[in-house]
Amino acid sequence: MLTKINKIQAKSVLTKSGLPGSDYVVNPYNGCQFACMYCYAAQIARWKHPGEEWGSFLDVKLNAPELLKAELEKLEKKFKSKNFGTIFFSSVTDPYTGMEAKYQLTRKCLEVLADFGYEGEISVQTKSGLITKDINVFKRLKKVLVGFTVTTLDDKVSRFLEVEAPPVSVRIEAIKKLNENGISTYAFIGPVLPYFIKSKNKINKLLDELQKAGVKEVWFEHIHLNSAVKARLFNYLKSENLKILEEFERSDNAEYREDLEKVIYECLEGRKLKLGLGKILYHKDLSKKKI
Protein backbone atom coordinates (compact mmCIF):
# COMPACT_ATOMS: atom_id res chain seq x y z
CA MET A 1 0.00 0.00 0.00
CA LEU A 2 1.28 3.47 -0.87
CA THR A 3 1.54 5.71 2.16
CA LYS A 4 0.99 9.44 1.84
CA ILE A 5 3.62 11.22 3.90
CA ASN A 6 2.53 14.48 5.55
CA LYS A 7 5.36 16.51 7.02
CA ILE A 8 3.91 18.52 9.88
CA GLN A 9 4.88 20.79 12.76
CA ALA A 10 3.18 19.25 15.80
CA LYS A 11 1.92 21.05 18.89
CA SER A 12 2.93 18.27 21.29
CA VAL A 13 4.78 14.96 21.22
CA LEU A 14 4.82 13.89 24.88
CA THR A 15 1.34 13.27 26.30
CA LYS A 16 -0.17 11.71 29.42
CA SER A 17 -0.87 8.05 28.90
CA GLY A 18 -4.03 6.07 29.55
CA LEU A 19 -2.21 2.81 28.80
CA PRO A 20 -1.40 0.38 31.60
CA GLY A 21 2.24 0.35 32.63
CA SER A 22 3.06 3.79 31.23
CA ASP A 23 2.70 7.38 32.42
CA TYR A 24 3.53 9.30 29.26
CA VAL A 25 3.65 8.42 25.58
CA VAL A 26 5.80 9.81 22.78
CA ASN A 27 4.39 9.65 19.24
CA PRO A 28 6.94 11.00 16.73
CA TYR A 29 4.54 9.93 13.97
CA ASN A 30 0.77 9.65 13.64
CA GLY A 31 -0.54 6.77 11.55
CA CYS A 32 1.24 3.53 10.75
CA GLN A 33 2.57 2.07 7.51
CA PHE A 34 2.24 -1.47 8.88
CA ALA A 35 -1.56 -1.43 8.50
CA CYS A 36 -2.30 -4.37 10.82
CA MET A 37 -5.85 -5.59 10.36
CA TYR A 38 -6.53 -5.82 14.11
CA CYS A 39 -5.02 -2.42 14.98
CA TYR A 40 -7.05 -0.50 17.55
CA ALA A 41 -4.83 2.60 17.18
CA ALA A 42 -6.44 2.98 13.75
CA GLN A 43 -9.54 4.58 15.19
CA ILE A 44 -7.57 6.89 17.54
CA ALA A 45 -5.13 8.19 14.97
CA ARG A 46 -7.58 8.42 12.11
CA TRP A 47 -9.79 11.21 13.43
CA LYS A 48 -7.47 13.65 11.70
CA HIS A 49 -7.80 11.65 8.49
CA PRO A 50 -11.49 10.84 8.04
CA GLY A 51 -12.17 8.52 5.14
CA GLU A 52 -8.51 7.62 4.61
CA GLU A 53 -7.59 3.95 4.81
CA TRP A 54 -5.45 2.91 7.79
CA GLY A 55 -1.89 2.48 6.53
CA SER A 56 -2.36 4.98 3.70
CA PHE A 57 -1.11 8.04 5.63
CA LEU A 58 1.68 8.94 8.01
CA ASP A 59 2.07 12.30 9.71
CA VAL A 60 5.75 12.95 10.32
CA LYS A 61 6.25 15.36 13.23
CA LEU A 62 9.38 17.08 12.00
CA ASN A 63 9.75 19.14 15.18
CA ALA A 64 9.30 16.14 17.55
CA PRO A 65 12.83 16.21 19.07
CA GLU A 66 12.76 19.98 19.80
CA LEU A 67 9.24 19.71 21.21
CA LEU A 68 10.21 16.79 23.40
CA LYS A 69 13.17 18.69 24.82
CA ALA A 70 10.95 21.65 25.72
CA GLU A 71 8.25 19.39 27.22
CA LEU A 72 10.79 17.48 29.34
CA GLU A 73 12.20 20.75 30.71
CA LYS A 74 8.68 21.93 31.57
CA LEU A 75 7.85 18.69 33.42
CA GLU A 76 11.18 18.74 35.24
CA LYS A 77 10.24 22.15 36.67
CA LYS A 78 6.77 20.90 37.60
CA PHE A 79 7.92 17.66 39.31
CA LYS A 80 11.35 18.93 40.43
CA SER A 81 12.68 15.62 39.17
CA LYS A 82 14.01 13.96 36.04
CA ASN A 83 11.67 11.03 36.56
CA PHE A 84 7.97 11.36 35.76
CA GLY A 85 7.33 7.63 35.40
CA THR A 86 7.49 5.31 32.41
CA ILE A 87 7.62 6.96 28.98
CA PHE A 88 6.28 4.70 26.24
CA PHE A 89 7.00 4.82 22.48
CA SER A 90 4.31 4.81 20.93
CA SER A 91 0.51 4.60 21.10
CA VAL A 92 -0.74 5.75 17.67
CA THR A 93 2.08 4.50 15.47
CA ASP A 94 4.91 2.01 15.40
CA PRO A 95 8.04 4.06 16.22
CA TYR A 96 10.07 2.11 13.64
CA THR A 97 8.03 2.07 10.44
CA GLY A 98 10.03 2.39 7.21
CA MET A 99 9.98 6.20 7.32
CA GLU A 100 12.04 6.15 10.53
CA ALA A 101 14.99 5.10 8.35
CA LYS A 102 14.65 8.43 6.55
CA TYR A 103 13.50 10.86 9.27
CA GLN A 104 15.14 9.29 12.36
CA LEU A 105 12.63 11.01 14.64
CA THR A 106 12.37 8.14 17.14
CA ARG A 107 16.14 8.00 17.33
CA LYS A 108 16.42 11.76 17.84
CA CYS A 109 13.75 11.68 20.57
CA LEU A 110 15.65 8.88 22.35
CA GLU A 111 18.82 10.97 22.07
CA VAL A 112 16.98 13.92 23.63
CA LEU A 113 15.98 11.67 26.56
CA ALA A 114 19.56 10.43 26.93
CA ASP A 115 21.01 13.97 26.82
CA PHE A 116 18.38 15.13 29.32
CA GLY A 117 19.44 12.31 31.66
CA TYR A 118 15.91 10.95 32.07
CA GLU A 119 15.86 8.78 35.19
CA GLY A 120 12.59 6.90 34.70
CA GLU A 121 11.98 3.93 32.46
CA ILE A 122 11.81 4.29 28.69
CA SER A 123 9.72 1.56 27.10
CA VAL A 124 9.72 1.06 23.34
CA GLN A 125 7.49 -1.40 21.49
CA THR A 126 7.72 -2.30 17.83
CA LYS A 127 7.30 -4.91 15.11
CA SER A 128 10.39 -3.76 13.24
CA GLY A 129 13.99 -4.92 13.13
CA LEU A 130 14.94 -1.34 12.27
CA ILE A 131 15.08 -0.76 16.02
CA THR A 132 18.49 -2.43 16.19
CA LYS A 133 20.03 0.67 14.54
CA ASP A 134 19.45 2.44 17.87
CA ILE A 135 21.22 -0.02 20.16
CA ASN A 136 23.93 2.58 20.79
CA VAL A 137 21.31 5.10 21.96
CA PHE A 138 19.57 2.52 24.19
CA LYS A 139 22.92 1.94 25.88
CA ARG A 140 22.99 5.63 26.85
CA LEU A 141 19.57 5.49 28.58
CA LYS A 142 19.39 4.79 32.32
CA LYS A 143 16.46 2.34 32.20
CA VAL A 144 15.18 0.93 28.95
CA LEU A 145 12.92 -1.96 28.03
CA VAL A 146 12.24 -2.99 24.43
CA GLY A 147 9.11 -4.91 23.50
CA PHE A 148 8.40 -6.81 20.31
CA THR A 149 4.92 -7.71 19.22
CA VAL A 150 5.01 -11.36 18.26
CA THR A 151 1.64 -12.92 17.54
CA THR A 152 2.71 -16.02 15.61
CA LEU A 153 5.84 -17.85 14.44
CA ASP A 154 4.50 -18.14 10.91
CA ASP A 155 5.61 -15.38 8.51
CA LYS A 156 2.58 -16.15 6.29
CA VAL A 157 0.21 -15.42 9.18
CA SER A 158 2.01 -12.21 10.07
CA ARG A 159 1.83 -11.13 6.41
CA PHE A 160 -1.89 -11.98 6.32
CA LEU A 161 -2.88 -9.93 9.38
CA GLU A 162 0.04 -7.53 9.96
CA VAL A 163 -0.01 -6.71 6.30
CA GLU A 164 2.97 -4.40 5.81
CA ALA A 165 4.88 -5.17 9.03
CA PRO A 166 8.25 -6.95 8.91
CA PRO A 167 7.88 -10.74 9.10
CA VAL A 168 8.02 -12.31 12.52
CA SER A 169 11.30 -14.10 11.73
CA VAL A 170 12.96 -10.67 11.40
CA ARG A 171 11.56 -9.66 14.78
CA ILE A 172 12.92 -12.79 16.48
CA GLU A 173 16.39 -12.04 15.06
CA ALA A 174 16.14 -8.46 16.33
CA ILE A 175 15.16 -9.70 19.83
CA LYS A 176 18.28 -11.91 19.84
CA LYS A 177 20.50 -9.01 18.79
CA LEU A 178 19.13 -6.69 21.46
CA ASN A 179 19.58 -9.32 24.17
CA GLU A 180 23.13 -10.01 22.99
CA ASN A 181 23.76 -6.30 23.47
CA GLY A 182 22.44 -6.32 27.00
CA ILE A 183 19.12 -4.57 26.24
CA SER A 184 16.20 -6.06 28.19
CA THR A 185 13.38 -7.27 25.99
CA TYR A 186 9.84 -8.49 26.44
CA ALA A 187 7.45 -10.07 23.98
CA PHE A 188 3.98 -8.69 23.55
CA ILE A 189 1.77 -11.58 22.45
CA GLY A 190 -1.16 -9.44 21.55
CA PRO A 191 -3.60 -9.98 20.26
CA VAL A 192 -3.60 -13.71 20.97
CA LEU A 193 -4.91 -14.59 17.53
CA PRO A 194 -8.08 -16.64 17.35
CA TYR A 195 -7.82 -19.58 14.89
CA PHE A 196 -4.03 -19.24 14.47
CA ILE A 197 -2.59 -19.50 17.98
CA LYS A 198 -5.23 -20.86 20.28
CA SER A 199 -3.79 -24.35 20.85
CA LYS A 200 -1.49 -25.29 23.71
CA ASN A 201 0.99 -26.70 21.23
CA LYS A 202 1.26 -23.43 19.29
CA ILE A 203 1.53 -21.26 22.40
CA ASN A 204 4.22 -23.55 23.81
CA LYS A 205 6.21 -23.39 20.55
CA LEU A 206 5.94 -19.61 20.53
CA LEU A 207 7.14 -19.36 24.13
CA ASP A 208 10.00 -21.80 23.41
CA GLU A 209 11.24 -19.64 20.51
CA LEU A 210 10.94 -16.43 22.49
CA GLN A 211 12.89 -17.89 25.39
CA LYS A 212 15.56 -19.14 22.98
CA ALA A 213 15.86 -15.57 21.70
CA GLY A 214 16.48 -14.39 25.26
CA VAL A 215 13.05 -13.05 26.24
CA LYS A 216 12.45 -13.10 30.00
CA GLU A 217 9.10 -11.34 30.13
CA VAL A 218 5.89 -11.87 28.17
CA TRP A 219 2.69 -9.89 27.92
CA PHE A 220 -0.54 -11.36 26.62
CA GLU A 221 -3.53 -9.47 25.36
CA HIS A 222 -6.88 -10.60 24.06
CA ILE A 223 -8.07 -9.22 20.78
CA HIS A 224 -10.03 -5.96 21.15
CA LEU A 225 -13.12 -6.41 19.06
CA ASN A 226 -14.77 -3.03 19.40
CA SER A 227 -17.04 -1.88 16.61
CA ALA A 228 -14.32 -0.03 14.66
CA VAL A 229 -11.90 -2.97 14.76
CA LYS A 230 -14.67 -5.40 13.88
CA ALA A 231 -15.84 -3.39 10.87
CA ARG A 232 -12.40 -3.35 9.28
CA LEU A 233 -11.13 -6.78 10.32
CA PHE A 234 -14.33 -8.75 9.69
CA ASN A 235 -14.76 -7.20 6.23
CA TYR A 236 -11.24 -8.27 5.39
CA LEU A 237 -11.72 -11.81 6.74
CA LYS A 238 -15.05 -12.12 4.93
CA SER A 239 -13.31 -11.51 1.65
CA GLU A 240 -10.39 -13.83 2.49
CA ASN A 241 -11.53 -16.83 4.51
CA LEU A 242 -14.90 -17.54 6.13
CA LYS A 243 -13.56 -20.23 8.49
CA ILE A 244 -11.15 -17.76 10.03
CA LEU A 245 -13.89 -15.16 10.25
CA GLU A 246 -16.13 -17.59 12.17
CA GLU A 247 -13.41 -18.32 14.72
CA PHE A 248 -12.77 -14.61 15.23
CA GLU A 249 -16.51 -14.07 15.73
CA ARG A 250 -16.58 -16.87 18.31
CA SER A 251 -13.70 -15.24 20.22
CA ASP A 252 -15.82 -12.23 21.18
CA ASN A 253 -17.09 -13.44 24.57
CA ALA A 254 -15.96 -14.01 28.16
CA GLU A 255 -16.15 -17.81 27.96
CA TYR A 256 -13.74 -17.95 25.02
CA ARG A 257 -11.33 -15.61 26.81
CA GLU A 258 -11.44 -17.65 30.04
CA ASP A 259 -10.76 -20.91 28.17
CA LEU A 260 -7.87 -19.29 26.35
CA GLU A 261 -6.40 -17.92 29.57
CA LYS A 262 -6.46 -21.39 31.15
CA VAL A 263 -4.45 -22.68 28.19
CA ILE A 264 -2.02 -19.77 28.46
CA TYR A 265 -1.43 -20.34 32.17
CA GLU A 266 -0.85 -24.04 31.60
CA CYS A 267 1.77 -23.14 29.00
CA LEU A 268 3.46 -20.67 31.36
CA GLU A 269 3.74 -23.11 34.22
CA GLY A 270 7.31 -24.16 35.00
CA ARG A 271 8.87 -21.60 32.65
CA LYS A 272 11.13 -18.92 34.01
CA LEU A 273 9.11 -16.16 32.39
CA LYS A 274 7.80 -13.04 34.05
CA LEU A 275 4.23 -12.20 33.15
CA GLY A 276 4.02 -8.49 32.32
CA LEU A 277 1.66 -6.16 34.05
CA GLY A 278 -1.29 -4.56 32.39
CA LYS A 279 -4.72 -5.24 31.11
CA ILE A 280 -3.56 -8.44 29.56
CA LEU A 281 -5.70 -11.15 31.06
CA TYR A 282 -9.24 -10.61 32.18
CA HIS A 283 -10.04 -13.63 34.31
CA LYS A 284 -9.67 -12.41 37.89
CA ASP A 285 -8.82 -15.75 39.53
CA LEU A 286 -6.27 -16.63 36.90
CA SER A 287 -4.63 -13.23 36.90
CA LYS A 288 -3.86 -13.64 40.61
CA LYS A 289 -2.31 -17.03 40.01
CA LYS A 290 1.42 -17.37 40.62
CA ILE A 291 3.41 -18.96 37.84
Name the site residues for ligand SF4 (rule: CB under 6 A).
32, 34-36, 39, 41, 93-94, 127, 162, 165
The C-alpha atoms of residue 25 and residue 89 are separated, in whole angstroms, by 6
Q: What secondary structure does DSSP assign to 256-274, as a single string?
A: HHHHHHHHHHHHHTTS--E
Q: Which is nearer to ligand SF4, 65 or 95 (CB)?
A: 95
C-alpha distance from residue 53 to each of 8, 49, 162 (Å): 19, 9, 15
Phi, psi for residue 26 in degrees, rounded to 5 = -115, 125
20 CA to centre of own chain: 13
Q: How far is the CB of 190 from ligand SF4 (least distance, A)?
A: 9
The helix or strand, by DSSP H or E, that contains position 124, with its residue range, turns out to be: strand 121-126
User: What is the CB neighbour count within 10 angstroms for residue 215?
Assistant: 24
C-alpha distance from residue 213 to each of 73, 84, 196, 216, 258 (Å): 38, 31, 21, 9, 29
Q: How far is the CB of 137 from ligand SF4 (least distance, A)?
A: 21
Q: Which is nearer to ligand SF4, 86 or 125 (CB)?
A: 125
Q: How far is the CB of 290 from ligand SF4 (least distance, A)?
A: 31
The C-alpha atoms of residue 111 and residue 266 are separated, in whole angstroms, by 41
Of 14, 188, 33, the C-alpha closest to 110 is: 14
Q: Which is nearer to ligand SF4, 122 or 165 (CB)?
A: 165
Q: Which is nearer to ligand SF4, 32 or 206 (CB)?
A: 32
Contact 29, 90 (CB under 8 A): yes
Q: How far is the CB of 126 from ligand SF4 (least distance, A)?
A: 8
Q: How far is the CB of 140 from ligand SF4 (least distance, A)?
A: 25
Q: Which is nearer to ligand SF4, 97 or 118 (CB)?
A: 97
The helix or strand, by DSSP H or E, that contains position 5, with its residue range, turns out to be: strand 4-8
The C-alpha atoms of residue 273 and residue 39 are separated, in whole angstroms, by 26
User: What is the CB neighbour count within 10 angstroms for residue 82?
Assistant: 15
Q: Which is nearer to ligand SF4, 57 or 138 (CB)?
A: 57
Q: Which is nearer to ligand SF4, 90 or 251 (CB)?
A: 90
DSSP 8-state symbol, 277: P
Beta bridge partners of 9: none
Q: How far is the CB of 146 from ligand SF4 (least distance, A)?
A: 15
Q: How far is the CB of 91 from ligand SF4 (least distance, A)?
A: 8
Q: Which is nearer to ligand SF4, 32 or 268 (CB)?
A: 32
Which amino acid is located at 282 in the chain?
Y
Q: How far is the CB of 165 from ligand SF4 (least distance, A)?
A: 6
